[in-house]
Amino acid sequence: MHRPFLVSLGLALVALGLAACGSGGGLPGASGGADSGTNSTAGPEAGASTLPSSSGLPPSEKLVNLTDAQRGQLCDWAVTKFSDYGTRADCTSDLFAYPDQASCVADSPNSTSAPDCGATVAQMETCINSLPQCATSGDVVLSLQCVDVTTC
């Protein structure tokens, strides 16, 4: 069963925890590449303003039209904003908390799981960039920048 992408990501990360925010960890693909699938060592750079503000994917591409490789690239970038695969820094939220890239890709919207999703990569990036490092699924729901992607 597929839940809306951001809500699912939020619920997954909340399970790992996000209440006591602190420094996060680095993530595979932090440079915006699609090389990941392997874990990296956590570092203080996650959630920092020096991380790329974009995933490197075409901004106008609809989320449901992305290939699995592109979904992996978007997952890597998004997870990097919050922590790392399999870890959750010093927070108590489950937003973008996945054990690995494959789990994130499997939970991503596609034409079967979210046929009515019209959100684009740019809208997802805007949403992710608007959230604090220790964001919760509630932050996603309340963010005006996330409105277009919360139905996916």
Among 64-73, 78-87, 136-145, whose mean pLDDT is lowest? 78-87
**Residue 61 included in any domain:** yes
**Residue 151 included in any domain:** no
Structure-model confidence comparison of residues 33 and 105, the more confident one: 105
**Residue 99 included in any domain:** yes
Provide the pLDDT for residue 49: 47
The per-residue b/e assignment along 17-43, b for 16 or more CB within 10 angstroms, e otherwise, is bbeebeebbbbbbbebebebeebbebe
**Residue 47 included in any domain:** yes
Q: Which domain holds residue 47?
A: 5-146
Is the pTM higher than 0.75? no
pLDDT band at 99 (very low <50, low <70, confident <90, very high): very high
> Based on the structure, what is the number of domains in the chain?
1
